[in-house]
Amino acid sequence: MFYLAYQRFTLHHFDRVEPVTLTRLHNLGLHDGVTVTLIQRYPFHGPVIIENSHQRIALRHQVFTTLASK
């Protein structure tokens, strides 16, 4: 079971993410100040699916909660 939640979030706090993950996020076009749409949120702190520039990306729940703010 998953939850659909079309909400908009602005990404911040990239300094709190591991360097390897930070490099991958930057390669995917995610950087400080980018607004993304939350598409799906899986239960029990499962992955989170976001969309940016017509590209869907799965993030670990911990990474998303570190970066996202409304």
Against a cut of 0.75, is the pTM above it? yes
Contact assessment for residue 1 and residue 40, using Cβ atoms and an 8 Å cutoff: no
**Mean pLDDT along residues 21-26:** 95
pLDDT at position 6 is 85
At 1, is the pLDDT very low, low, confident or very high (cuts 50, 70, 90)? low
> In the structure encoding, which two tokens stand for residue 9, read together?
């979030």
The reported pLDDT for the residue numbered 3 is 64
What the block records as the tokens of 30 is 């995610």
